Structure 1
Amino acid sequence: MGDRIFATFQSLLPTRALSAFMFRVAQVRAKPFKNALMRWFLHKYAVDLEEAEWSRVDNYEHFNAFFTRALKPGLRPQPAAANILSSPVDGAISQVGPIRQGQIFQAKGHGYSAAALLADEELAKDFYSGSFSTIYLAPHDYHRVHMPCIGRLRSWAYVPGRLFSVNPSTARSVPGLFARNERMVAIFDTQFGPLALVMVGAIIVGGIETVWSGQLTPPHLRHVPPTYYQPMQPLLLQRGAELGRFHMGSTVILLAPPGALTWDPALAAGQAVRLGQSLATMLK
């Protein structure tokens, strides 16, 4: 009942305006304000700033720079074996498993189709009986997104949508949540075939950014048909290379084709993962 009430409350909020406003607040450079905001956030969410490249709030020009902070070099090494798919983010496993008849499991009683998530029926055919992993980024997590394997960017799209929260409570109460929210979808060609990587926006998420297109949001668009673009120049990203970042937190979803991966059997809903941690073994 509490989950449903929370979801209903969100549906009544002007989420796009609220998120755009918070993005502007996060850019304020006034030292007393931005330092106070960062210290409040550090206390409320128990952020370990010792892992960051800069460990003092004075080093950050504004809250957004703090939120998208870099880690100390070498802190999240990639696996030694070349056939390992690594975690693209710090976060927690929301769900992991097979894609059954094109359907992806969200939470008990809820799912969504790969076609709806990718906003493209033809692209979704590659993942019809494949597998997926959904990773939730909490406020205290590191919020840059990295490549889980070597991949060449084939195409990408901005998909407008809602801005519900993506926390576990909302996932349990909003049908098709990740296919309804604003998102960026990127398709990479890899050694095991196509990989879809989806960065899902959410309420208070002020922006999504990629290394090939820069800032995608804000503005948070509505009635714009999703269009897949090919990179103007070939873009090959190594495993562990940064591909984008969230300006505030959200969720990353990975889709793989059938027979491509064997997911680590120890992975389970709610389990914390770290950037570079082994998620699966590539079979091709």
Structure 2
Amino acid sequence: MNFNDALKVLPQYALPQHTLSKLMSYITHSENTALKNWCINTVIRHYGVNMAEALEENPEAFKSFNHFFTRKLKPEARPLTTEKNAVACPADGSVSQAGNITDGKIFQAKGMSFSAIDLLGGDAERAKPFENGVFATIYLSPKDYHRLHMPLAGTLKEMVQIPGKLFSVNTATTRSVPGLFARNERVAAIFDTEAGPMALVLVGAIFVSSIETVWHGVVTPPTAPSVQSWYYDHKPITLKKGDEMGRFNMGSTIIVLFGKDKVQWVSGFKADQLVRLGEMVGRLK
């Protein structure tokens, strides 16, 4: 940890992370006109949000900041790849890391990694299909579109809510907090696809007031006291490639996992690369 990163990160260990997220939830869901308009316009100016892409372009038309933050885009704003055997990018953002799962480990940053078992809630059987597979970690900044979509068509098998911390997931924290993505609160969705099992892991962060999915609604909050699982064999839920599967009600990170010899990332899909929803980021082997 370098000195500048330490100054940014060490105070997070002492912060009441979940309390601050509850406060942020209250603010972002407020329908007070003056408050929500100030928040929305401040974020648009500070981060350079492109409202021309939004289905609703008028910032003051949103009933709350969260309504703005999870805004829909115009259908033509994010075309879905039509390449044969393509894996589509699940989100707007930047690649934190992408590569191979080696000896059960997922690379986080220089000198740090975390296990697929820990990421998926401590269940070795749940993680087994991803042994020696591939992963991609995509960070969503405040300016990005915050709905998450399917990289491939899939049938939902299991959803897992995993309690944890709420550290920031920015670059400084990623370089500094060991096992960050396997420590933060998260929701994992396991799908059967033409590439075999696919895991989409939605990682919470400080000020992320909630994570939700299209089939369940809001999953967190509340924070679960322990790992909770839902199984869907009795009620199949199938989503097409490009379909919305969930959203962050504030920004965070999505991690995608595939099994061994199933998917190959395209060249250029690597750390620090900016990516857009729907573009081709990999292909089936």
Q: Under TM normalisation by the shorter chain, which class is it?
A: over 0.9
- Partners of 1:122 and 1:20 lie apart in 2 by 34
- Out of 211, 214, 225, the position equivalent to 1:211 is 214
The Cα of 1:82 is off from its aligned counterpart by: 3.9
- Partners of 2:116 and 2:162 lie apart in 1 by 14
1:244 alignment counterpart: 246
- Out of 130, 142, 146, the position equivalent to 1:143 is 146
- Helix, strand or coil: the match of 1:227? strand
Aligned length: 282
Residue type matched to 2:197 in 1? P
- Partners of 1:132 and 1:228 lie apart in 2 by 23
- Partners of 1:37 and 1:165 lie apart in 2 by 20
Residue type matched to 1:114 in 2? A
* Contact 1:20/1:219 (<8 A) preserved: no
- Helix, strand or coil: the match of 1:203? coil
Residue type matched to 1:57 in 2? P
* Contact 1:212/1:231 (<8 A) preserved: no
Residue type matched to 1:255 in 2? L
1:173 alignment counterpart: 176
The Cα of 1:212 is off from its aligned counterpart by: 1.0
1:70 alignment counterpart: 72
Q: Percent identity?
A: 46
- Partners of 2:230 and 2:135 lie apart in 1 by 21
Q: Name the TM-score, length of structure 1 as normaliser.
A: 0.97
Shift >4 Å, 4+ stretches:
none
Comparing 36-45 and 199-208, the one that deviates more = 36-45
Structure 1: any 5+ residue segments left out of the alignment? none
- Helix, strand or coil: the match of 2:218? strand
2:130 alignment counterpart: 127
Residue type matched to 2:223 in 1? H
2:11 alignment counterpart: 9
- Helix, strand or coil: the match of 2:10? helix
Residue type matched to 1:121 in 2? A
* Contact 1:171/1:177 (<8 A) preserved: yes
- Helix, strand or coil: the match of 1:112? strand
The Cα of 1:228 is off from its aligned counterpart by: 4.4
Comparing 159-168 and 119-128, the one that deviates more = 119-128
